[in-house]
């Protein structure tokens, strides 16, 4: 029997996932995750998350996979000299939040906030999907101040999805700033569609809603990276982008 290395097996699994062969993809990803569980916490956690995505796309619960991923991200963050403890804690927080374990999610997030890291060189494009001219101008001004020069603006969900697909086809790695209340599509619908196109996409949600509302919980459970509440400041936008960059950095390891 031919044994595939982790990278090759993962590529095969992702091909099955892209072709909507979710059961086969889930089996391959879960096997790889379990084989690395005791030796490579980070890789195993990411594989569990991908396996969970296969379950989600089948309309099934991915609670077991997300719990395994969250536990492994926390284990990785406790290993001395781990390269990206902050990113692991943020990913653990996201897993815990999707499981409804809000106190544990808050604890992991607070630990991540206390960690300072060398700023990441800003090279990634930013996509703004918002129908408000005033909010769009404010966001554009802020992200320019933060060093981003490649900025795309879309006024509704459908145009945003279409525009992002084009950006993805150019092998770019954008950060998406997404308004929850668009005129044509709800933010959670847009986020779900974008994450189906690019599973490792970083999306920052913008809304006037409180973080404790059901609508916000719904969109956070889709896998978005961060949340900004209106009215927002430059510092709040910076912190949200830092969270997205930490997650992106972790996924590149």
Domains of the chain plus CATH, in order, are 6-113 (1.25.40.10), 126-251 (3.40.50.2300)
Q: Tell me which of 220 and 134 has the higher pLDDT.
A: 134
pLDDT computed for residue 3 by the predictor: 40
pLDDT computed for residue 116 by the predictor: 72
CA atoms within 13 A on the CB side of 29: 26
Q: Which residues contact 182 (CB under 8 A, 6 or more apart)?
A: 129, 130, 131, 156, 157, 160, 190
Which ranges of 198-251 would DSSP assign to H, the alpha helix? 214-220, 234-251
pLDDT-wise least confident of 51-60, 110-119, 235-244: 110-119
CA atoms within 13 A on the CB side of 64: 9
At 167-177, the pLDDT tens digits run 999 989 999 99
Q: How far apart are CA 109 and CA 70, in angstroms?
A: 12
Q: What are phi and psi of 115, to 5 degrees?
A: -95, 125
Q: How far apart are CA 80 and CA 150, in angstroms?
A: 37
pLDDT computed for residue 5 by the predictor: 56
Q: Is the pLDDT of residue 62 over 80?
A: yes
pLDDT classification of 75: cutoffs 50, 70, 90: very high
Handedness of CA 216, 220, 224, 228 (dihedral sign): positive
Q: Is the pLDDT of residue 221 over 90?
A: no
pLDDT classification of 84: cutoffs 50, 70, 90: confident
pLDDT classification of 150: cutoffs 50, 70, 90: very high
Partners of 153 in the beta sheet?
Answer: 128
At 104-129, the pLDDT tens digits run 988 998 888 888 765 555 468 999 99
pLDDT classification of 132: cutoffs 50, 70, 90: very high
């Amino acid at each position: 029997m031919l044994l595939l290395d982790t990278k090759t097996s993962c590529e095969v699994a992702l091909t099955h996932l892209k072709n909507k062969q979710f059961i086969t993809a889930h089996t391959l990803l879960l096997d790889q995750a379990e084989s690395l569980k005791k030796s490579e916490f980070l890789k195993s956690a990411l594989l569990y998350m991908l396996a969970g995505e296969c379950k989600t796309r089948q309309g099934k619960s991915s609670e077991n996979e997300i719990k395994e991923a969250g536990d492994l991200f926390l284990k990785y963050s406790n290993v001395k000299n781990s390269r990206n403890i902050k990113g692991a804690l943020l990913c653990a927080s996201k897993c815990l939040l999707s499981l409804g374990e809000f106190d544990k999610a808050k604890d992991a997030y607070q630990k991540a906030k206390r960690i300072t890291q060398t700023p990441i060189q800003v090279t990634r494009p930013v996509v703004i999907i918002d129908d408000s001219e005033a909010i769009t101008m404010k966001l554009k001004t802020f992200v320019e101040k933060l060093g981003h020069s490649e900025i795309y603006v879309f006024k509704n969900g459908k145009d945003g999805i279409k525009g992002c697909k084009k950006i993805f086809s150019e092998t770019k790695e954008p950060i998406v700033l997404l308004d929850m209340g668009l005129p044509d599509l709800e933010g959670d619908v847009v986020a779900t569609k974008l994450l189906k196109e690019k599973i490792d996409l970083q999306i920052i949600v913008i809304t006037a809603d409180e973080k404790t509302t059901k609508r916000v919980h719904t969109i956070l459970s889709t896998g978005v990276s961060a949340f900004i509440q209106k009215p927002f400041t430059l510092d709040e936008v910076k912190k949200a982008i830092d969270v997205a960059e930490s997650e992106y950095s972790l996924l590149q390891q």
